[in-house]
Amino acid sequence: MKVGGHRILTEPLDKGNYLEPTVFVDVTNSMRIAQEEIFGPVLCVIKFETEEEAVTMANDNECGLASGVWTQNFSKALRVAKVIRTGKVWVNTYDQVPANVPFGGCKRSGFGRETHKMVLDEYSSFKNIYLAFEEMTFGLYPES
C-alpha cells in the first residue's frame, strides 16, 4: 500500500515536478522498492521482530549510502550502527551533513569519500621512505 506520492498541484509548487512525500507500507526486503536507492522523499516500512533481523535486512542489498537508527537505547544504537554496512549512520536524526565530515557510501553507493580531505586519498599513492645517514646498515638485514 502507498500513501502520498501524488504530484503537488498547489501554488507555488504547481509549476514544477514536485511530489508529496511517499510512504510504502507492507514492504518486504526482497521488493525492488526496498533494494534500490531512491533519492526523494520516500519511506519503506518493513516489519521486523529482532535486532538481528533488522541488521540482516539492512545489510542485504547492493547499496549502502546511509542509514538511520531510532531507539532510546544508545548501547543498542551504537551496536547496530557498527554492523550496518553504510557509509553514514544517523542515530535519532536523519540527513544531517555537517561541513568537513567525510560523506560517501559502501558497496555500490558512491566513490570513496567527499567533502573532506580524505577525498585526496582516492587520487594518491602513498609510500614510506626511511633514511639512515650513517654508513652502517640498520634494520632486519644489517651488513656484516
Q: What is the mean pLDDT of each run of 10 residues along the chain (144 residues)?
A: 88 91 93 85 91 93 82 91 86 77 62 58 63 64 60
For 65, residues 6+ apart whose C-beta sits below 8 A from its C-beta are 37, 86, 87, 88, 104, 105, 106, 109, 110
Confidence at residue 111, expressed as pLDDT on a 0 to 100 scale: 56
Cell numbers found for residue 118? 580524505
pTM: 0.62
Q: Which CATH class is domain 2-99?
A: alpha beta
